[in-house]
Homo-oligomer: A and B are copies of this chain.
Amino acid sequence: MPACPLCDTPGGTILWQDDFCRVVLADEPDYPGFLRVILVAHVKEMSDLAPADRERLLQAVLASEAALREVVAPDKINLASLGNLVPHLHWHVIPRFADDPHFPNPVWGARQRDTPRTAPPDLAARLAAALRQRLGPARETE
């Protein structure tokens, strides 16, 4: 099996984790609050998971959506599980704003404008608290 960046590295700043998955704040300067929900196990497709595990992963995705709506109040949430480059299950949970750099395109589409957006300094802490409120206490980072 080739090296997998999501097996080998956190993939962002860990905001919440348990033994099953982690929620990380992605390093995406255009999109403060861009979250990724990453399965711990190296599995390719949702339909490769047992039903209970699909539900558990989607619960973390929807908790991430709800945390973003509470903390950054975006105009829209975008959810996606692609994995063409990294076939290890991970979900993008992206807060979108009508004036963001790609709106209304997907963030992978044609750029529409430059819109500097500054993350509030306590963004990670506020998202982590909103996640704990929905998902329970996080396992300590090693």
Instruction: Known contacts A78-B81, A80-B78, A109-B108; decide if A54 and B62 are in contact (CB<8 Å).
Output: yes
The answer, among B69, B76, B87, B105, for a CB contact under 8 Å with A83, is B76
Q: Is the interface of A mostly helix, strand, loop or mixed?
A: mixed
Residues of chain B within 8 A (CB-CB) of A47 are 62, 65-66, 69, 77
The answer, among B78, B85, B87, for a CB contact under 8 Å with A82, is B78
Pairwise interchain contact B81-A79, C-beta atoms closer than 8 A: yes
Q: How many residues of A contact B (CB 8 A)?
A: 29
Chain A 101-119 interface residues, beta-carbon cutoff 8 Å to B: 103-106, 108-109
Q: Verify if A141 is at the interface (C-beta below 8 Å from B).
A: no
- Find the B residue at minimum CB distance from A103: B84
